[in-house]
Structure 1
Amino acid sequence: MKKKLAVLGGAVSTLGLLGLYITNRFMYLPKKDEKDIYEREIQANRLVEREYNTLPKEEVTITSPFGYSINAVFITPYPEGKFMIFCHGVTENRWNSVKYMNLFLKRGFNAVIYDHRRHGESGGKSTSYGYYEKQDLKAVVDELIRREGEDIQFGIHGESMGAATLLLYAGSIEDRADFYIADCPYSDFGQQLTY
């Protein structure tokens, strides 16, 4: 009996360690270097420094409900205009959102690009694939409404993990945006992790 309990205990311990290892692999997925992403976007002509640098903008630090800082940039070429908030994918940062931002700037929207938790210049210790990020998105929305007023019109665009984040925000936190664009969110988290 003791031998069976020892074997069972060893198996449970092994599964626990394996679970801890797998969880850590996903929550602490290696991030891409911020400067590499910036250079990649320049090389691909999605970020034209000269144009970006002439845009009226303000770097803003927003406090996450979890206590760390969220790095955001409010880009406002249109006074009292509509806004788009952009949520990037896992291992990326705000520079990856510029390609989408440019499309909306051409259509009369102002923009908010920001770094998700544990990405770019934002704080946070882990990546939760939208679970905690949805609360940070709410903080970004709250800051936009605080600055621009309750009657502002805005949409939220998300790519990959950013799309999952905005869907979780809209479906479980609040539905304050006028519209959402969910670009390639995962449909099944288990399948995404397996992939």
Structure 2
Amino acid sequence: MNKKLRKLLIIIAATVPLLTFALMLWLASFVMTGKRQTLDEAMQWQSEHYDTSFYENLEKTNYTVESFDGYELHVQFLKNPTPTDKYILLSHGYTDNRMGSLKYVPMYLELGYNCIIYDLRGHGENEPTFTTYGIREGEDIYELVKDTRSRYSDISQLGLHGESLGAASTVTSMKYHPEVDFAVADCGFSDIDNVLRGAYKKYHVPVFLVDLADIGARIRYGYALKSMRPIDSLDDNEVPILFIHGAEDSFILPKNSEDMAARTKGRSEVHFITGAGHAISILTDAESYKTYVKDFLGSL
């Protein structure tokens, strides 16, 4: 073997591991720190897809809640114009912010609830940080429930509602046994691994990159993607959960909700909205959506 070839092989042998390591870290960052919307951007999207004029007339209170690790969450209380002692805490999806929860507010106002919306960690007005797909976010919800219970002394009923990442975080919070009466989980995932692998296949990206991202996440952030499994929080859960999913959701498949509904120890229902893609079920068929929620709440 000549000297030039030997030198080239040495360079390749040294470079490939470094490039692989850099790729793992980049993949982890891509998966866990996607570009977030500003409040204005999120509100613009909402206003383009439904009438948000109701929001301007609501009495609002802004505050922050310190979570389990000292992280501050920005929260907004939306008071029902009709006095009520029922409350609902709404969690938005990935890269969105509390404005993304507004699409559900008219329904809950009509059903007689005060609404609490907030920015998930790393989103909205909160300090930038990475997403753990339910691990830290579920514990945040537990802390928000405790704060809500102490902040509002008149509560007769308190529920949770989550969309996508918010639904997964809501489900994950069940491992802490939050003092809530019910939960609604819209298009949540049972585990993030199946979502990533499905997305990579759909866009013809090598699926083994998910495994590299998992290693990178462990190294860079201290959390394994494979441990981000909301479904594992349901084995001893007794909070009634209503699962709703768009029947045409090709991003987070409806089977995720079916699997979680079957896994929970307590009561569950699962309903699919015909024609709805990801996170737009209430915009696709508002009447069916409201009926499912109203009937579920009425049966508690």
Q: Tell me, yes or no, whether TM beats 0.5.
A: yes
Structure 2 counterpart of 1:22, one-letter code: L
Output one character per residue of 1:96-136: Cα deviation in whole Å (capped at 9) or x when no partner: 10111110101101110000011111224111111111121
Q: Contact between 1:46 and 1:98, CA under 8 Å: does it hold in 2?
A: no
Could you tell me whether the CA contact under 8 Å between 2:43 and 2:99 is conserved in 1?
A: yes
Query: Which has the higher Rg, Structure 1 or Structure 2?
Result: 2
State the shift of 1:157 in Å. 0.5
- Deviation of the 1:140 alpha carbon: 1.3
In 2, are the aligned partners of 1:65 and 1:136 still within 8 Å (CA)? yes
Structure 2 matches for 1:1-195, cutoff 5 A? 12-48=17-53, 51-77=54-80, 78-149=82-153, 152-170=156-174, 172-194=175-197, 195=199
Q: In structure 2, the residue corresponding to 1:132 is in which secondary structure?
A: helix
What's the offset of the Cα at 1:14? Answer: 4.0
2:51 and 2:170 map into 1 onto residues whose CA distance is: 23
Higher normalized contact order (CA 8 Å, seq sep 6+, divided by chain length): 1
* Structure 1 pair 19–152 and aligned structure 2 pair: CA distance change class (3 A): farther
**Structure 1 unmatched runs, 5+:** 1-5
User: Between Structure 1 and Structure 2, how many residues are aligned?
Assistant: 190
TM-score normalised according to structure 2 size: 0.58
Native 8 Å contact 2:68 2:139 kept in 1:
yes
Which residue of structure 2 aligns with residue 3 of structure 1?
A: none
TM-score by length of 1: 0.86
The corresponding residue for 2:211 is: none
Distance 1:136 1:12 in 2: 37
For the aligned residue pairs, the C-alpha RMSD in angstroms reads: 2.4
How much does 1:150 deviate?
8.5
Change (3 A) 1:144 1:21: same
Alpha-carbon distance in structure 1 between the residues aligned to 2:32 and 2:84: 39
* d(CA) in 2 for partners of 1:95, 1:166: 18
Which is further off, 25-34 or 10-19? Answer: 10-19
2 CA distance for matches of 1:158 and 1:14? 38
| Residue of structure 1 equivalent to 2:222 | none
Separation in 2, partners of 1:174, 1:13: 44
Residues 157 and 97 from structure 1, CA distance in 2 versus in 1: closer, same or farther, beyond 3 angstroms? same
Equivalent position SS for 2:114: strand
> Contact conserved, 1:69 with 1:122, CA < 8 A, in 2?
yes
SS of alignment partner, residue 16 of structure 1: helix
What is the aligned-residue identity percentage?
A: 29
